[in-house]
Amino acid sequence: DARVTQTPRHKVTEMGQEVTMRCQPILGHNTVFWYRQTMMQGLELLAYFRNRAPLDDSGMPKDRFSAEMPDATLATLKIQPSEPRDSAVYFCASGLVLTGTGVSAGELFFGEGSRLTVL
Amino acid sequence: GESVGLHLPTLSVQEGDNSIINCAYSNSASDYFIWYKQESGKGPQFIIDIRSNMDKRQGQRVTVLLNKTVKHLSLQIAATQPGDSAVYFCAEPMDTGRRALTFGSGTRLQVQP
């Protein structure tokens, strides 16, 4: 049963600490997305990668957030230093975009999310 | 769950009734649209999509209608069941050059037994 796996599911930390969230996309998917969900803003795109290359990270606060894909099976989202306003649920999603056409195969598969609380 | 506490419009229906969830989209150039369902404590889950060259598409118990004239999308759920209780989001591509999705604010569906 192919699925996107995210760790940790829950994280409570203190302001100023570094937080790293990890995602294992579905094998064979070439596009990985990071979304953040909050009560006020809903689902916001933070960054996304195609074939491990960053395509867009304009939704991320650059001074404290960083996203990487060290290999095809791992995407990471790091916050350093964390702040209380970063408290949210962070979702990773993966999908398949048909290369050459730029057309999406349609569906994004989301992980269960990482709930972050920064005190 | 993640969406609890969101000040979302709520649709309350009786089990067995049909549900209609509406969405207004913003980009007239969007070439496809997707409906997602998010249950409490889980990530969004794909329900059905529709290309812009269609005005109706049917799945199992669900139908999506697209009205490009007024940029309106609806999701119809037939014979609504308690397991359909969730938050429903419509989504469209951010722009034609990128394939990331932008999500609407969502509608909470509550099914009364």
Supply A25's token pair.
Answer: 């996309």
Pairing of strands A114-118, A10-13: parallel
Q: What is the pLDDT of residue B19?
A: 97
Its CATH architecture, for the domain B10-112, is: Sandwich (2.60)
Statement: A5-112 belongs to CATH 2.60.40.10: yes
User: Within an 8 Å CB–CB cutoff, is residue A100 touching chain B?
Assistant: no
DSSP string, A42-60: EEEEEEEEETTEEEE-TTS
Q: What is the pLDDT of residue B48?
A: 94
Could you read off the pLDDT of B73-91 as tens digits, one per residue? 999 999 999 999 999 999 9
Distances (CA, A) of A101 to A24, A65, A93, A98, B97: 25, 31, 21, 6, 11
**Interchain CB contacts (distance < 8 Å): A and B:** 62
Angstroms from A80 CA to nearest CA on chain B: 23
* Residues within 8 A of A (CB atoms), B 34-63 only: 34, 41-46, 49
Cα(A40)–Cα(A36) distance, integer angstroms: 11
Cα(B66)–Cα(A71) distance, integer angstroms: 39
Q: Write out chain B residues lying below 8 Å of A112, CB-based.
A: 41-43
Q: What is the pLDDT of residue B3?
A: 38
Q: What is the pLDDT of residue B1?
A: 34
What single letter denotes the amino acid at residue A92?
A: C
Q: What is the pLDDT of residue A88?
A: 97
Q: A104, B99 in Cβ contact below 8 A?
A: yes
Q: Write out chain A residues lying below 8 Å of B37, CB-based.
A: none
Residue B90: other Cβ atoms inside 10 A: 26
User: Within an 8 Å CB–CB cutoff, is residue A107 touching chain B?
Assistant: yes
Q: Given an 8 Å threshold on Cβ–Cβ distance, is A31 in contact with B98? A: no
Q: What is the pLDDT of residue B49?
A: 92
